[in-house]
A and B are shown apart, each in its own frame.
Chain A
């Protein structure tokens, strides 16, 4: 059933775009079906799951690599499914009102959103590390596409790429961490790893840190949180869904998923608590000074995610229960708030606190829902947010639970209280900013939203209220999830009322201080402005990217010279550096010895051979030194005939005959071509470059010759050719070379004639073709059939040689639309 739900998401993603023509924006109703189905199914299975019998399913994919699509829905997954699919379904319905039918790319949008919904469902239900990574990165990519939905805005493109690079880049760390972890644990099933965590490997901390890096980036933990506020350029339903309610919880989910097994491994807890707390404080502090409601919420989200990471990563029962409560709370209240802002933005055209007034009066229902959600965020009873926060404070009361250590718990508690105060303050600021009447602001004219548009936020905030009033449902899930974790003094249940105790006192403190902070908001704003601004986290990203590009440019500029001779020189140098150095080393070490002085050593086999060799050497050097074409050609001919002579001496009449014929033909053809070319070559002046070239080439030539000498000297077996003579009788031929060519190794000959035929066709097509193009040019004619139709080569050809624009100029006119840019293969 779960697999069916996933497939359904994918199928709908394919089906939706064509439906847009018929349905317009109502296509989102259709889109809400798969997540709705998933959440209904999950709820129907909830009793069974909560009672400790998770649901499993599996599809094999690449068993040899342990990549398998295993699924397992337990309590934690259940909570996440409710968030992902439940909120998803609501947001899809909301989108019907948000998007106009003529919105650009609405089909694409709906399709990608459903795909995201499915991917997220996969993330929270899978039980295989690789499958988790698969779905995880799918959410990154869909998120990228959704952030960049309004791709004509530079800002959107930037933010999308930034989010992608951050999440996928860190996701790669996570992948390596997964592979390490699975390798250490011997299995890639998460449930098995958590149930029976490996402990003894020195690589385990490395694996965990790598995984945490991925989780932190996904959940926008400081200092990797910068992408999340930037991602707010996306349309509001997307922000609400991905960047508040679900995707960013991926990291929290992963931390919470692994915490039962690995929370006690250093440096897990230290890392999680530090980063989480820092994020909570930074986010809350930054939220206090935002003017844009959406950004306020975004920083609020960052803060809350830090909070959740702390709770999820601590690895105690109370913290775990608090995490479940806060997780659900956050999902509901944050999506409500975003949707509220979306409505405000949609109706009034702004979401700036400085420009909004009287919204509460004009949209009371919406304001009610928003206020309720904000109250939940602030941690006010009787909402689920309050329940979660109570539990959270309880979790860090020193002495109540075994981990973390009391001192650390004290610090954490203080941090959480400060964070909560900040949360209260920005929640209040949100309500005030969004709905309050402000005398200084003139009221805008706008239409009231349709009821359908407001339904989703109302429902979602109501869900928050419901869960708060009846926390038993959440508690059941929490207990089921927290069961394997270390217990404190007494079992803890999520509830509205725990009696008077330190936590209640702390809550009161939070409310009082928060209210104070809100009341003093002007002072706070000024204080924030007055403080030296610490470097933006985004700066790190920009520095990284810039460093990469600068490195890329400097490396490529230096290496990719564009000159053929340099390329060939480097190849020769490589040959010398690899086998060459090896050979020299062996010779120096005495592992190999040149056959000087051995019995085999001889100057020549016959004096005639010596003469031929000298002719060869002289002719070769002459060819290399000659700067005039025809003399060089004649020396080349002499060289060829010299080689033929050597062939005769070595008993190869066939070769000699062939070579002489081939040489003659080559000479004739060379003459055909050469008579058109200038009579001398352009030569480079003598200088160190030339000397270096000579040195390089001599070294390369010597290397090959010496290797040949050594190899032939060290022959290990008699050549196989003895067999040919024996078998030649069977064939009935007496010229062994020819018999080999046409019989024993006819396949080589076969290939060779194919080479010849191809070369012939190539030469013909190359020469004949050029002629035609010249005729065209003479007539000044473009090819006639392409009046308008831009064919593949037309532009290259015409824009190439003619547009003689200097490089600098091109850069200046990068985007000039008049065609002055020089595409692809610019000319000289």
Chain B
């Protein structure tokens, strides 16, 4: 019988994703990816899948940035871009397992969430400093040597915030419901006999 007694110690350590003392699951070897000898999340290790994943991921990430930037004129935008980008990581997890996922992350999901929120809040609140209403858009154009006239607008920043948060969400969920559960299953496998007896 699994007690759910919430035996949780306040302040014992981070919520599992604190960077310093990251608990197991995040102890990824800092090797080049796809060279880790870990079982992937599903089924046996598939070289084909890995290679396809490796080839696709940069393309997916680039595409997601494109969607983000072009969203104002074409279908796309922060949501779609963020979802596409996180697909890349999901693919990476499915292909390479949880250690792979951990190794490939630019920063912890909570960090992404906080950063995204800050960017969005900043964009939203900046006009207030000038006595304007919240979320008012401001834009300016400059002429860059290579790109020609580039228009920069604050809603782009806002969309980046959206992008970051969407990525943060998906990673967080994959980390929790995928990687974490996988790690647990491994632990559980060791203890299985005892637990079966208890049921």
Contact = CB atoms under 8 A, between A and B. Distances in A.
A796 B124 CA distance: 44
Nearest to A662: B83
B17 interface: yes
B134 interface: yes
A800 B5 contact: yes
B77 to A, nearest CB: 4
Contacts of A767: 176-177, 180-181
Interface string B111-132: 0010011001000100000000
Interface residues of B, number: 63
Nearest to B184: A771
A673 to B, nearest CB: 6
A581 interface: no
A772 B124 contact: no
Interface of B: 1-9, 15-17, 71-80, 83-84, 86-87, 90, 94, 109-110, 113, 116-117, 120, 124, 134-135, 137, 139, 151, 153, 155, 158-159, 161-162, 165-166, 168-170, 172-178, 180-181, 184-185, 191
A768 B74 contact: no
Nearest to A673: B177
A654 B177 CA distance: 28
A805 to B, nearest CB: 16
A725 interface: no
Interface string A77-114: 00000000000000000000000000000000000000
A665 B176 contact: no
Contact of A732 (B72, B80, B158): B72
A800 B4 CA distance: 9
A742 B177 contact: no
Given A734-B74, A746-B135, 20 more contacts: A658-B83, A661-B83, A735-B73, A742-B155, A746-B124, A753-B116, A764-B15, A764-B17, A764-B175, A768-B16, A773-B7, A776-B5, A776-B7, A778-B191, A783-B8, A793-B5, A793-B6, A797-B3, A797-B4, A798-B5
Interface in A658-706: 658, 661-662, 664-665, 668-669, 672-673, 676
Contacts of A785: 9
Given A654-B80, A735-B72, A760-B169, A668 B113 contact: no
Interface in A775-809: 776-778, 781-783, 785, 793, 796-798, 800-802
Contacts of A773: 3-8
Contacts of B116: 753, 757
B83 A763 contact: no
A739 B80 CA distance: 14
Specify which of A665, A764, A783, A800 lies most central, judged by the most chain B CB atoms within 10 Å of its CB: A764
Interface in A738-771: 738-739, 741-743, 746-747, 749-750, 753-754, 756-757, 759-761, 763-771
Contact of A753 (B77, B155, B165): B165
A731 interface: yes
A743 B155 contact: yes
Contact of B73 (A734, A764, A778): A734
A657 B172 contact: no
Nearest to B177: A672
A445 interface: no
B168 A668 contact: no
List 10 A-B pairs, minimum CB-CB distance, nearest first: A797-B5, A776-B7, A733-B72, A661-B83, A768-B16, A760-B172, A767-B176, A742-B155, A760-B169, A734-B73
B4 A770 contact: yes
A732 B151 contact: yes
Contacts of A770: 4
Nearest to A675: B42
B135 A750 contact: yes
A402 interface: no
28 contacts: A654-B75, A654-B77, A657-B76, A661-B83, A664-B87, A668-B90, A672-B174, A673-B181, A732-B139, A732-B153, A734-B72, A738-B76, A742-B71, A754-B117, A756-B166, A756-B168, A757-B168, A760-B109, A760-B173, A761-B110, A764-B15, A764-B109, A771-B16, A773-B3, A793-B5, A797-B3, A797-B7, A801-B1
A763 B173 contact: yes
Contacts of A768: 15-17, 176, 180
A791 B6 CA distance: 12
Contacts of A793: 5-6
Interface residues of A, number: 61
A653 interface: yes
B173 A669 contact: yes
A152 interface: no
A746 B156 CA distance: 12
- Which label, helix, strand, loop or mixed, suits the secondary structure of the B interface? helix
A732 B7 CA distance: 55
A774 interface: yes
A750 B165 CA distance: 11
Interface in A17-47: none
A742 B76 CA distance: 12
Contacts of B80: 654, 657-658, 661
B77 A676 contact: no
Given A739-B72, A741-B77, A760-B173, A672 B181 contact: yes
A733 B174 contact: no
Specify which of A774, A798, A802 lies most central, judged by the most chain B CB atoms within 10 Å of its CB: A774
B177 A746 contact: no
A764 B87 contact: no
A802 B4 CA distance: 11
Contacts of B76: 654, 657, 735, 738
B68 to A, nearest CB: 10
A778 B161 CA distance: 41
B178 A658 contact: no
Given A746-B155, A783-B9, A759 B169 contact: yes
A762 B186 CA distance: 24
A742 B87 contact: no
A616 B90 CA distance: 28
A676 B72 CA distance: 42
A427 to B, nearest CB: 68
A257 B4 CA distance: 64
B135 A761 contact: no
Contact of A801 (B3, B109, B139, B180): B3
A636 B168 CA distance: 25
Given A732-B151, A747-B135, A756 B165 contact: yes
B21 to A, nearest CB: 13
